[in-house]
Amino acid sequence: MGISPPLPENLGTPMPEPRHFPLILDTHVWIWLLNGEERLQRSKALPWIERAALRSQVKVSVISVWEVGMLQAKARITLPSHTLEWVRKALSSPGISLAPLTEEIAIESTQLPGEFHGDPADRILVATARLLGGTLLTSDRKILDYSKKHDLWAVSL
């Protein structure tokens, strides 16, 4: 059973702190974290990530590595170094580790309950969070909407 993503802060509803670990970072959250993006710096999620990292409870799916490579190749993001160098440095950050794409995650991503869109990367992120029993940190509205109805812990930034 998932938790509903919080309402926007301007409605006065506080964002609940994740209770299920590890924290799985959606690809955009991982990029924002490593690049010091202001929207993450202002977010209540940054202290959650920092506390989880102290316990080595922050995971990045291997599909996010692929997405970063694709975003760089399509010039949709600019990294300060070569893609592989950036990824290796990002994964060497204290408390952050790579969540592999296991056969269980691969199959789960094809059999998610209910209706979920066909983006393979999003499906793998959702399957990873479900099978690891963690919380997915994301700003992706489709994932957040899915978490309201299905067994997925997801929290909006």
Fold adopted by 37-156: Rossmann fold (3.40.50)
pLDDT at 56: 94
CB neighbourhood size of 134 (10 A): 23
Using alpha carbons, list the distances in angstroms from residue 142 to 46, 91, 93, 156.
22, 26, 29, 11
Per-residue pLDDT of the chain (157 residues; tens, 9 = 90+): 333 333 333 323 344 566 678 999 999 999 999 988 898 888 888 999 999 999 999 999 999 999 999 999 999 999 999 999 999 999 999 999 999 999 999 999 999 999 999 899 999 999 999 999 999 999 999 999 999 998 888 888 8
Q: How distant is the alpha carbon of residue 153 from its chain centre? A: 11
CB neighbourhood size of 52 (10 A): 22
Q: Model's pTM, two decimal places?
A: 0.85
